[in-house]
Amino acid sequence: MKKTLAFVALVGLAAFRVASTAVYADTTSTATTQVHVTINPNIAVSATQQVWDLGTYQNGSFFATTQWRVDANVEAVQFCLQASDLYKGGDPSNADVPPIPLDSNTPATITGEHANEINGGDNRALWIGQGSSVGGFPTKRTESVTYESSQSGHFSQVVTTTIYYNQDDPEKPQGQYSGIIKLLALIPPTNNQQ
């Protein structure tokens, strides 16, 4: 009798466990979940030409106009220029011939095909001090200026920059003088927040 009672108790306990476990009568089931991805702001800039020939000059003021391709997935882009003096033979370490100086008293101009400086700016950037060395050339740098694209949701266009030099030595040794110009393009912090 005790064995029978123990067996019935064991069967009852097993039946209770089966009853307390979830039982599904359907042969299929579905569930859904949501996924998302965040696209980070990004920007790319490149010179449309690697070398710009400024022509031939004797003395006086002249300018260098260069063009850059800028592509960003935001409408506002901040720009800063760095530029060097022009050195005989492209050699900034040659102290024998003074360079043709960058005219840092004349602001650089920055113009977008489909963009303008925000807050009614004049598309000019003032030279504010020393920049970093670029390819061995010491540079001066401009202030940073922010431009707003008229394109919807992006900034994809050619940007034209102009900087000025002053060749004030009428006895400057003849030959080719060269230097460097660098455009820094960045996404303003307000567009870079997640």
Rounded Cα gap, residues 176 and 194, in angstroms: 49
Count of beta carbons in the 10 Å neighbourhood of residue 116: 16
Instruction: List, for residues 73-114, the tens digit of each pLDDT value.
Output: 999 999 999 999 999 999 999 889 999 999 999 999 999 999
Are 52 and 66 spatial neighbours (Cβ–Cβ below 8 Å)? yes
Is pLDDT of 20 > 70? no
Are 165 and 99 spatial neighbours (Cβ–Cβ below 8 Å)? no
The predicted structure's pLDDT at residue 8 = 47
Are 140 and 156 spatial neighbours (Cβ–Cβ below 8 Å)? no
Question: Which class for 89: exposed (0-12), middle (13-18), buried (19 or more C-beta within 10 A)?
Answer: exposed
- Report the first-to-last Cα separation within the chain, whole angstroms: 74
Could you please report the per-residue DSSP string of 19-72? HHS-----S-----------PPP-EEEEES-S-------SSEEEEEEEEEEEEE
Rounded Cα gap, residues 140 and 92, in angstroms: 14
Instruction: List, for residues 42-77, the tens digit of each pLDDT value.
Output: 999 999 999 999 999 888 999 999 999 999 999 999
Confidence of residue 194 (pLDDT cuts 50, 70, 90): very low
Ranges of each domain in the chain: 43-189
CATH 1.10.4030 at 43-189, yes or no: no
Instruction: List, for residues 163-191, the tens digit of each pLDDT value.
Output: 999 999 999 999 999 999 999 999 998 75
Is pLDDT of 137 > 50? yes
